[in-house]
Structure 1
Amino acid sequence: MEKLAYTLRLCTPADLDRLLVLIGKHAEFEKAHYSPEGKKEQLHAALFTEPVFLTCVIAEVDRVVIGYATYTFDYSTWDAAKFIYLDCLYIEDEYRSYGIGKHLMDWVKKTGEENDCVNMQWQTPDFNERAIQFYKRLGGIGKDKVRFTLPLNLRF
């Protein structure tokens, strides 16, 4: 496979339209319901308004956003310590296997280390075998659990 020139950087407000497209593709890939309605404003607030709740790292090729990773900080009761949570990692299919995913993971990992996090956590659907193998190669340790969602607000 030939080398691919790409850059990683923090998301800016100008990236939101393209980010919404990628989020839609990510949701479709994970067989999840997704509606972009109202999301641009909500993401803008979460990413760029104090207090910042979400951070997004963009991967781009030739100034086109082709992937992203988002993360938050949370607290572990069991560890009695802060951890970094990788909420989403997505790269368009034709740009996979170039090392972009590893570099996005490294960015989030380094951020966690710089912020004294005890660990980095994330999840992927059990049918996403490619991602599971990727995460295992990086040293990730899977835990068998069932994730539940309880809707709290009908506006979504």
Structure 2
Amino acid sequence: MSSAPNVRHARPEDLPRITELAAEHAAYEQAPPPAPDLAHRLEVLLFTTPAPRLRCLVAELPDGEVVGYATCAPALSTWEGREYLHMDCLFLSSDSRGSGLGALLMDAVTAEARDLGLIEVQWQTPAWNEGAIRFYDRLGADSTAKLRYSLTVPS
């Protein structure tokens, strides 16, 4: 057991905790709860071979408790004509914020980009999430004001 917090790739046995954290994340962002079968869906995306479609990093305390996660996947930019790493989620439980784990997660996400040969990470955060905005600004990230849309595809 380590004496310092750690960030590592998620393992299948982390899925129940990641699912709990995803539900906390959705509640925090006042969004609908995740799908009831989220653990299974994530298992398919994270642990299928030969190449997983999603990457998940978890932040754990020295006692092994997982208190946060970041997920990311390569995406394409038409305007740049290249791939970048899209960070879909970064979330820490409320009592773990301000502990330095967010910076460790971001370091791990940028390392994922580097390992994939990508030179940029992009993400979104709600305009009302002032704590996250201050954190990302301290990292030196640039922001662009846009609205995010979603459209359900009719069956």
The interval holding the TM-score normalised by the smaller chain is over 0.9
Distance between the aligned counterparts of 2:154 and 2:28, measured in 1?
A: 25
**Mean Cα displacement is larger for which, 66-75 or 145-154?**
145-154
The match for 2:131 is 130
The match for 1:107 is 108
1:35 offset after TM fit, Å? 3.3
Q: Which structure 1 segments of 5+ residues have no match? A: none
Q: How many residue pairs get matched?
A: 151
Aligned sequence identity (%): 36
The match for 1:22 is 21
Residues 119 and 6 from structure 1, CA distance in 2 versus in 1: closer, same or farther, beyond 3 angstroms? same
For residues 22-66 of structure 1, the C-alpha deviation after alignment (integer angstroms, 9 at most, x for no partner) is 000000101111134111111100000123110100111111110
Q: Which structure 2 segments of 5+ residues have no match? A: none
1:153 offset after TM fit, Å? 5.7
Which residue identity is paired with 1:52? P
TM-score, normalization: structure 1?
0.92
**Mean Cα displacement is larger for which, 48-57 or 18-27?**
48-57
The match for 1:57 is 57
Counting only pairs closer than 5 Å after superposition, residues 60-139 of structure 1 correspond to structure 2 as: 60-61=60-61, 62-139=63-140
TM-score, normalization: structure 2?
0.92
Which residue identity is paired with 1:150? L
Distance between the aligned counterparts of 2:110 and 2:26, measured in 1?
A: 23
Which residue identity is paired with 1:9? R
Query: What is the Cα-based RMSD across aligned positions, in Å?
Result: 1.4
Distance between the aligned counterparts of 1:9 and 1:52, measured in 2?
A: 16
**Structure 1 stretches of 4+ moved >2 Å:** none
1:133 offset after TM fit, Å? 0.7
For residues 80-116 of structure 1, the C-alpha deviation after alignment (integer angstroms, 9 at most, x for no partner) is 1110011100011111111110111011112212322
Which residue identity is paired with 2:21? L
Q: Which has the higher contact order (CA 8 A, sep 6+)?
A: 2
Which residue identity is paired with 2:106? M
**Mean Cα displacement is larger for which, 41-50 or 111-120?**
111-120
1:151 offset after TM fit, Å? 1.1
CA contact (8 A) 2:68 2:90 kept: yes
